A and B are shown apart, each in its own frame.
Chain A
């Protein structure tokens, strides 16, 4: 377990922050950009649904659930790496 120094805390935060930025960028994609362009996406069909409609009622929702679980999985790894992941 690395020493709980200022530098290691700093590194922990930088990694945490970068992970959060990535997750938020994906959140913007599924929560804002895809629903915005639902009209154009409807030209395609997915599992029998118009694609734009599909994202608004299901696709983006599945993505949100996945985003949270993936972020937590990565964040646990970051916390453990710096020895701050105690239960």
Chain B
């Protein structure tokens, strides 16, 4: 690391608290200005555009200020991110468009089995903390394949890890670019395809110049926006419905009320389904049979193991100054993530009540059809094909199974459903955009870094200069981003589905090779390759067969849970092959011992 950067950085690092506090105040002030603007007659669209431009403008400034020409800064933010801020950055990196936009909708429509996402996407951090993060930090790697390649040795293992990383992260990033595009298109009033490319532009601004350093400091800013944007509407609605200031601990009776209302209206499939839109047919909360329990738990297991194997998350813990601060920052991460995740079911419950409960002015079910079809928000979302009301039994009353909605829009539409001012919709759009952009940044960087560091530098051209390495990294970033946007504009899957696949890919191929690399000295190269290939290929094959309906799922393991199959094959293959082949060399075993000691030098040196 050059002395110039050493002398320049601390000033900013010492004042992080002040900088982000002022930023938060600035954002709240902007929110207040927009609220006044609305009172003065500002249109919903102008407010939405204001929020988008303001927030993206700030991210761009941070991205510009974080520009760098150093390898350590580009790959691991110079390993100087304090635990608290790394926690915020990880939370933004983690909470994607799926968490922000789609999760509450999934819970709204999916009921108990979908709660597997809630448990899985938080419980995974216990695994990250106890099995992975401190040891990978001690290792001193730049990327996750860097660990695999050094621990197991040989280019085959490294290459296999790169392939799985790309498959998982690319699946994930298309969903995020899709979400970015949806929000940009909605707010700016441009076609979806244009929105996708505009969103990509914003993503590049954060990541191109500063690499991991730029992404880190924009992600902290994005976390602040997204958590404010998620909590404000919930708290607002809660007060309107009389659940108190913080609804999280008191919406229990809402769950019982919904059960009553569901019994009253009946949960029936629609007379004529509409493609792409859902009606509510799953009860809010009835676990009960073994199959339901298995569905919930198998989903949770895939998401937890996937959390602990997704490279864009693990690499965030490479940026802290020490092993201890890496662990501490996992604690902060989950705390910040928890704030959103324990709010999502509250949001789903309150929104459902808004629509169903005849005691609330906003309810629509059981109301005269003509009145409902004339509501502003119904017309708005119906005009873009995200929602539909059809009086299919022609009784002039809107029944529960005549109200169709895309699960993905529950969060975005909630402010309008609850009759909140436009300024809240603008805030939520800015939050959703922050969530999707921050995750897309992390993912694109994970892919581009693995390709530039592991494939290009470690395998193809080990003599490349620093300048060349970073140039390659940036060019790859451009190409991968463009490819992601291209795929996203094809709209292949819903947001939540594609994200679940990414977790399944990651845990199928990487979970056991990573865990056993630290926790089982006997694990060797042949075993790791068998584990990666076996898990990834069997998981992908199972996904292909089940998704295309070539075979029926086994014991309810459908396309979003294929990680169960992949992980089972992976662990068996890895253990069996490891035991059948020679144990790793003394040096490798000593390296594993060294990784388990938190203090001292990292295994891989800086700039490696």
The chain A residues found within 8 Å of chain B, CB to CB, are 9, 12-13, 16, 20, 23-24, 27, 30-32, 35-39, 42, 45-50, 52-54, 56-58, 60-62, 64-65, 67-69, 71-72, 75-76, 79, 83-87
* A42 B287 Cβ-Cβ under 8 A: yes
Per the bound structure, the CA–CA distance linking A65 and B336 in Å amounts to 10
Nearest B-chain residue to A23, judged by Cβ: B130
* B129 A35 Cβ-Cβ under 8 A: no
What residues on B are CB-neighbors of A67 within 8 Å?
Answer: 126
Given A9-B597, A68-B129, A48:B119 Cβ within 8 A: no
* A68 B334 Cβ-Cβ under 8 A: yes
* B599 A79 Cβ-Cβ under 8 A: yes
* A27 B126 Cβ-Cβ under 8 A: yes
Given A13-B596, A69-B331, A50:B255 Cβ within 8 A: yes
Per DSSP, chain A at the interface is helix
Distance to closest chain B CB from A84 (angstroms): 4
What residues on A are CB-neighbors of B123 within 8 Å?
Answer: 27, 30-31, 60, 64
In chain B, positions 216-267 with a C-beta closer than 8 Å to chain A are 248-250, 252-253, 255-256
Interface presence of B293 (CB below 8 A): yes
What residues on A are CB-neighbors of B293 within 8 Å?
Answer: 35-39
List the 10 closest pairs (A to B, CB-CB), nearest first: A48-B252, A49-B252, A39-B287, A31-B123, A57-B345, A56-B115, A84-B599, A38-B287, A39-B288, A86-B599
Nearest B-chain residue to A73, judged by Cβ: B331
Q: Can you identify 13 A-B contacts, CB atoms within 8 angstroms?
A: A12-B597, A31-B119, A36-B297, A46-B252, A50-B285, A57-B115, A58-B248, A58-B345, A64-B123, A72-B327, A75-B327, A84-B598, A87-B321
What residues on B are CB-neighbors of A87 within 8 Å?
Answer: 321-322, 324-325
What residues on B are CB-neighbors of A45 within 8 Å?
Answer: 252
Distance to closest chain B CB from A71 (angstroms): 6
* B112 A56 Cβ-Cβ under 8 A: yes
In chain B, positions 83-142 with a C-beta closer than 8 Å to chain A are 112, 115-116, 118-120, 122-123, 125-127, 129-131, 134
What residues on B are CB-neighbors of A53 within 8 Å?
Answer: 112, 115, 255, 285
Distance to closest chain B CB from A10 (angstroms): 9
* A76 B596 Cβ-Cβ under 8 A: no
Per the bound structure, the CA–CA distance linking A21 and B116 in Å amounts to 23
* B335 A65 Cβ-Cβ under 8 A: yes
Given A20-B130, A64-B126, A72-B328, A56:B249 Cβ within 8 A: no
A79 contact from B250, B345, B598, Cβ within 8 A = B598
* B129 A85 Cβ-Cβ under 8 A: no
Per the bound structure, the CA–CA distance linking A5 and B297 in Å amounts to 44
What residues on A are CB-neighbors of B371 within 8 Å?
Answer: none
In chain B, positions 261-289 with a C-beta closer than 8 Å to chain A are 285-289
Residue from A12, A39, A84 with most neighbouring chain B CB atoms (10 Å): A39
Interface presence of B301 (CB below 8 A): yes
Interface presence of B81 (CB below 8 A): no
* A84 B322 Cβ-Cβ under 8 A: no
Given A35-B119, A39-B288, 12 further pairs, Cβ under 8 A: A35-B296, A36-B294, A48-B253, A53-B285, A56-B112, A60-B123, A64-B122, A64-B126, A68-B330, A71-B129, A83-B599, A86-B322
Per the bound structure, the CA–CA distance linking A75 and B115 in Å amounts to 31
* A76 B252 Cβ-Cβ under 8 A: no
* A47 B252 Cβ-Cβ under 8 A: yes
Nearest A-chain residue to B322, judged by Cβ: A87
Per the bound structure, the CA–CA distance linking A69 and B294 in Å amounts to 29
Nearest B-chain residue to A54, judged by Cβ: B252
Distance to closest chain A CB from B230 (angstroms): 15
What residues on B are CB-neighbors of A65 within 8 Å?
Answer: 122, 331, 334-335, 338
Q: Mark B291-331, 1 if CB is under 8 A from A, else 0.
A: 01110110011001000000000000000011011011011
What residues on A are CB-neighbors of B127 within 8 Å?
Answer: 27
Interface presence of B461 (CB below 8 A): no
What residues on A are CB-neighbors of B294 within 8 Å?
Answer: 36
In chain B, positions 461-477 with a C-beta closer than 8 Å to chain A are none
Per the bound structure, the CA–CA distance linking A3 and B300 in Å amounts to 43
Interface presence of B552 (CB below 8 A): no
Given A27-B126, A39-B289, A61:B118 Cβ within 8 A: yes
B300 contact from A31, A42, A54, A75, Cβ within 8 A = A31
Nearest B-chain residue to A41, judged by Cβ: B287
What residues on A are CB-neighbors of B252 within 8 Å?
Answer: 45-50, 54
Per the bound structure, the CA–CA distance linking A13 and B134 in Å amounts to 13
What residues on A are CB-neighbors of B345 within 8 Å?
Answer: 57-58
What residues on A are CB-neighbors of B301 within 8 Å?
Answer: 32
* B596 A39 Cβ-Cβ under 8 A: no
* A56 B118 Cβ-Cβ under 8 A: yes
What residues on A are CB-neighbors of B289 within 8 Å?
Answer: 39
Given A56-B115, A61-B342, A24:B130 Cβ within 8 A: yes
What residues on B are CB-neighbors of A38 within 8 Å?
Answer: 112, 287, 293, 296
What residues on B are CB-neighbors of A48 within 8 Å?
Answer: 250, 252-253
Distance to closest chain B CB from A69 (angstroms): 5
A36 contact from B296, B322, B327, Cβ within 8 A = B296
Per the bound structure, the CA–CA distance linking A65 and B292 in Å amounts to 26
Per the bound structure, the CA–CA distance linking A50 and B252 in Å amounts to 7
Distance to closest chain B CB from A38 (angstroms): 4
Interface presence of B197 (CB below 8 A): no
Per the bound structure, the CA–CA distance linking A72 and B112 in Å amounts to 32
Nearest B-chain residue to A87, judged by Cβ: B322
* A85 B599 Cβ-Cβ under 8 A: yes
* B296 A71 Cβ-Cβ under 8 A: no
* B596 A49 Cβ-Cβ under 8 A: no
Distance to closest chain B CB from A72 (angstroms): 5
Nearest A-chain residue to B594, judged by Cβ: A9
Residue from B116, B126, B285, B598 with most neighbouring chain A CB atoms (10 Å): B126
What residues on A are CB-neighbors of B342 within 8 Å?
Answer: 57-58, 61-62
Per the bound structure, the CA–CA distance linking A12 and B129 in Å amounts to 18
Interface presence of B172 (CB below 8 A): no
What residues on B are CB-neighbors of A42 within 8 Å?
Answer: 285, 287
Residue from A20, A58, A79, A83 with most neighbouring chain B CB atoms (10 Å): A58
Interface presence of B376 (CB below 8 A): no
Per the bound structure, the CA–CA distance linking A60 and B116 in Å amounts to 11
* B112 A71 Cβ-Cβ under 8 A: no
Given A57-B345, A65-B338, A31:B598 Cβ within 8 A: no
